[in-house]
C-alpha cells in the first residue's frame, strides 16, 4: 500500500516537472511532427503496406529514444540522491516506467494521427493497429527507462544510450512491424496472437528485470 | 599434472573432432552433402559460446550478491571469449549457408537474432570501457549483462521458434534430434567436439582471468 502511494506521488511529480519544463515535451512533439513532415515531403504518398508500416515504426522508434532518454539524464545527481532518501528504488523505477509509457503512448498516437493525415491512412484494422501501438510504446518505454538509468551512471551517456538500447529495441521493433503489418493488411486477427504473446512476454521480462536490478544500480 | 588433465583432454578432443570430422563417414543427404561436416564446427562453437555466456551471467549474479571483484573479472573474460567463439561460429555458419542456402546471409530470424546478440555484447564491452571506477563499472556491467543474457535467450531461442527459419528445429523444420539426419556415426564426433571446444575456451579464459587478477593485485600494491 505504501508502495502504491509512493508511486502515485512520484508520477505526480513527473507530470509536474514536465509541466514546468514545457520546452522538453514541446521539443519532442516538434521532432515527431517534423520527421513525419520530412517523410511526407520525400514520399508524398506511400501505398505499399510494408513500406508504410516500416516507416511508421522507425519514426516511433526514434521519437521514443528522444522522448525517454531524458527521464534519468535530466535529473541531477543531487536530486537523485534526494529521491533515494525519500523513496524505495522499486517505487522510483515503476513510477518512471508508468510515466514514460503514458508519454510514449500519447506520442505514438499523435504520430499515427499526423502520419495518417499526411501520408494517407491505409490501415484496414484500426482497433488492432491501435492495440499494437499501445503495446509497442509500452515496450519501448520500459526498455528505454531502464537503459536510460544505466546510461545515466556513465560518463558519455548520450551516445551510450543509443548503443545500449538499439540491440534491445530492434527485436521488439521487428515483432511489432510483423504484427502491425497484419492489421494494415486487415488479415485475420488470430494471426497476430502469438506475436502479442511475445510482446507481452518481453514487456513482463523487462519490468521484472528492472524491478529486480534497479536497486543495485541505484546504490552509489 | 594432476590438475592439468583437462587441458590435455581439451586438445585431444578438439584434434579428434577435427580429424574425425573430416574423415569419418557421414550420411549422404540432398543439398547438404559433405557440408554436413560443418556441424562439428559451427554448432559446437555455438554450444560452447552459450555455455560461456551462461557462466558469465552466473558470475554477474554472484558479483551483485557479494560485490567481490573476482566474479566481475570472470564475467568479463567469459564474454570476451564467447565473442571470439561467436564470431568463429558466425564465419563457419556463413560458409555453410553459402553452399546450402545459396547466400552467406539469408534472411533468417536466427541469423538476425545472433547479429543482435553480438551487438549486445559489443555494447557490454563499450559500457565497461566508459566507466573508470572499478566497483561502479563492475556493478553496472553486471546489471547490463543480466539484462543482455535474458534478452539473448528470448531473441535467439524463443523468438525464432515462432517464425519460419531455415535452421532445423524451427517453424516446422524438424531438428537434428528427431530427424534421421544425424546418425550415431556423427554423434561420436559431435558430443566430444562440444566438450572439447568448451574446455579449450575454459582454458583460454583461465589464463586471461589469472592475468587480470595479477594485474589488479599489482596495481593495488603499487598504489
Q: Looking at the partner chain, which of B132, B154, B162 has a beta carbon nearest the beta carbon of A202?
A: B154
Write out the three cell numbers for A7.
Answer: 508511486
- The pLDDT tens digits for B88-136 are 888 888 888 888 877 778 777 777 778 888 888 999 998 988 888 888 8
Residue where the block lists cell 571506477: B133
Which one is predicted more confidently, B149 or B108? Answer: B149
pLDDT band of B178, cuts 50, 70, 90: very low
Shortest CA gap B58–chain A (Å): 14
Backbone angles phi, psi at A88, to 5 degrees: -80, 145
Inter-chain touch A205–B136, beta carbons under 8 Å: no
Tens digit of each residue's pLDDT (9 = 90 or more) over B3-13:
888 888 888 88
| Residue in chain B nearest A220 by alpha carbon | B136
Of B140, B143, B159, the CB nearest to A171: B159
For chain B, the average pLDDT equals 81
H/E stretch holding A127 reads helix A126-151
| pLDDT value at B58 more than 80 | yes
Share of chain A above pLDDT 70, in %: 99
**A91-95, A180-184, B30-34, B207-211: segment of lowest average pLDDT:** B30-34
pLDDT at B179 over 50: no
- Helix A89-118 and helix A193-218: axis angle, to 10°? 140
Chain B residue with the nearest C-alpha to that of A148: B144
Three cell numbers, residue B123: 555494447
Is residue B172 over pLDDT 80? no
Q: What is the mean pLDDT of residues B19-29?
A: 76
User: Across the interface, do A216 and B123 touch by the CB < 8 Å criterion?
Assistant: no
Residue with cell 517534423: A34
Sequence spans of domains, chain B = 7-222
Q: To 10 degrees, what angle do helices A126-151 and A49-73 make? A: 30
Contact A175 B159 (CB under 8 A): yes
Tell me which chain B residues have a C-beta less than 8 angstroms from the C-beta of A219.
Answer: 139
DSSP A101: H
How far is Cα of residue B29 from the mean position of the Cα atoms in its chain? 27
The parent domain of residue A191 ranges over 2-218
Q: What percent of chain B shows pLDDT beyond 90?
A: 17
SS3 label, residue B187: helix
Quote the pLDDT of residue B174: 46
Q: How close, in Å, is residue B83 to chain A by CA atoms?
A: 15
Taking alpha carbons only, the member of B166, B50, B159, B47 closest to residue B113 is B159
What is the end-to-end Cα distance of chain B in Å, rounded?
A: 36
Over residues A167-191, mean pLDDT: 85
Report helix, strand and coil shares of chain B as percent, to nearest 5. Answer: 80, 0, 20
- CA–CA dist A199, B154 (Å, integer): 11
Q: How many CB atoms lie within 10 A of CB B5?
A: 9
Decide if B158 and A150 are in contact by the 8 Å CB cutoff: no
pLDDT tens by residue, A84-128: 788 888 888 899 999 999 999 999 999 999 998 888 888 888 888
Contact status of A149 with chain B (Cβ, < 8 Å)? no
Q: Could you tell me which chain B residue has the CA closest to the CA of A151?
A: B127
Task: Read off the pLDDT of each residue in A148-158 and give the average, rounded to a whole number.
Answer: 80
Distances (CA, A) of B209 to B1, B42, B73: 20, 26, 6
Query: Average of pLDDT values for A41-66?
Result: 88
For residue A106, count other CB atoms closer than 10 A to its CB: 14
CB atoms within 10 A of CB A42: 7
Least confident of A137-141, B151-155, B156-160: B156-160
Judged by CB atoms closer than 8 Å, whether chains meet at B136 and A153 is answered as yes
- Among A46-50, A57-61, B37-41, B137-141, name the one with the lowest average pLDDT: B37-41
Q: Which residue has the cell 532518454?
A: A69
All residues of chain B having their beta carbon less than 8 Å from the beta carbon of residue A195 are: 162
Locate B171 and state its grid cell.
517453424
Query: How high is the ipTM of this complex?
Result: 0.83
Three-state DSSP state, B163:
coil
Report the pLDDT value the prediction gives residue A137, as an integer from 0 to 100. 92
Residue whose C-alpha cell is 530470424: B109
How close A70 gets to chain B, by Cα (Å)? 19
Tell which B residues from 77 to 116 touch A, by Cβ distance under 8 Å: 112-113, 116
For residue B38, give the H/E element and its range: none
- Are residues B116 and A209, on separate chains, in Cβ contact within 8 Å? no
- DSSP letters of B129-156? HT--SHHHHHHHHHHHHHHHHHHHHIII
Predicted local confidence at residue A3, as pLDDT: 82
pLDDT of amino acid A98: 92
Amino acid at each position: 500500500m505504501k508502495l502504491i502511494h509512493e508511486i502515485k506521488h512520484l508520477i505526480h511529480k513527473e507530470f509536474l516537472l514536465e509541466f514546468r519544463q514545457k520546452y522538453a515535451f514541446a521539443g519532442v512533439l516538434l521532432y515527431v511532427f517534423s520527421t513525419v513532415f520530412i517523410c511526407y515531403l520525400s514520399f508524398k504518398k506511400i501505398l505499399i503496406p510494408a513500406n508504410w508500416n516500416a516507416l511508421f515504426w522507425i519514426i516511433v522508434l526514434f521519437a521514443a529514444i528522444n522522448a525517454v532518454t531524458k527521464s534519468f539524464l535530466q535529473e541531477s545527481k543531487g536530486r537523485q540522491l534526494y529521491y533515494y532518501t525519500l523513496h524505495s528504488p522499486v517505487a522510483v523505477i515503476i513510477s518512471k516506467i508508468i510515466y514514460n509509457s503514458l508519454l510514449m503512448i500519447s506520442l505514438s498516437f499523435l504520430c499515427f494521427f499526423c502520419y495518417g493525415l499526411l501520408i494517407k491512412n491505409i490501415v484496414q484494422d484500426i482497433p488492432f493497429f491501435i492495440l499494437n501501438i499501445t503495446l509497442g510504446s509500452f515496450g519501448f518505454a520500459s526498455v528505454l527507462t531502464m537503459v536510460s538509468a544505466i546510461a545515466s551512471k556513465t560518463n558519455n551517456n548520450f551516445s551510450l544510450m543509443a548503443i545500449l538500447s538499439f540491440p534491445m529495441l530492434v527485436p521488439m521493433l521487428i515483432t511489432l512491424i510483423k504484427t502491425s503489418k497484419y492489421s494494415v493488411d486487415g488479415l485475420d486477427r488470430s494471426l497476430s496472437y502469438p506475436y502479442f504473446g511475445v510482446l507481452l512476454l518481453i514487456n513482463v521480462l523487462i519490468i521484472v528485470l528492472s524491478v529486480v536490478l534497479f536497486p543495485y544500480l541505484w546504490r552509489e | 599434472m594432476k590438475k592439468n588433465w583437462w587441458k590435455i583432454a581439451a586438445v585431444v578432443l578438439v584434434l579428434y573432432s577435427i580429424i574425425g570430422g573430416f574423415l569419418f563417414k557421414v550420411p549422404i543427404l540432398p543439398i547438404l552433402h559433405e557440408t554436413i561436416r560443418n556441424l562439428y564446427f559451427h554448432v559446437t562453437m555455438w554450444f560452447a559460446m552459450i555455455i560461456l555466456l551462461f557462466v558469465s551471467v552466473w558470475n554477474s549474479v554472484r558479483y551483485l550478491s557479494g560485490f567481490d571483484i573476482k566474479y566481475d573479472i570472470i564475467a568479463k573474460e567469459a564474454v570476451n571469449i564467447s565473442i571470439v567463439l561467436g564470431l568463429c561460429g558466425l564465419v563457419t555458419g556463413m560458409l555453410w549457408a553459402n553452399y546450402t542456402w545459396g547466400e552467406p546471409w539469408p534472411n533468417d530470424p536466427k541469423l538476425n537474432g545472433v547479429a543482435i546478440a553480438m551487438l549486445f555484447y559489443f555494447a557490454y564491452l563499450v559500457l565497461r570501457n566508459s566507466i573508470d571506477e572499478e566497483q561502479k563499472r563492475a556493478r553496472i556491467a553486471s546489471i547490463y549483462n543480466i539484462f543482455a543474457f535474458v534478452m539473448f535467450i528470448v531473441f535467439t531461442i524463443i523468438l525464432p521458434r515462432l517464425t519460419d527459419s531455415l535452421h532445423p528445429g524451427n517453424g516446422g523444420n524438424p531438428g537434428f534430434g528427431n530427424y534421421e539426419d544425424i546418425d550415431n556415426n556423427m554423434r561420436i564426433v559431435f558430443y566430444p567436439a562440444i566438450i572439447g571446444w568448451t574446455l579449450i575456451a575454459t582454458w583460454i579464459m583461465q589464463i586471461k582471468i589469472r592475468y587480470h587478477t595479477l594485474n589488479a593485485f599489482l596495481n593495488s600494491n603499487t598504489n
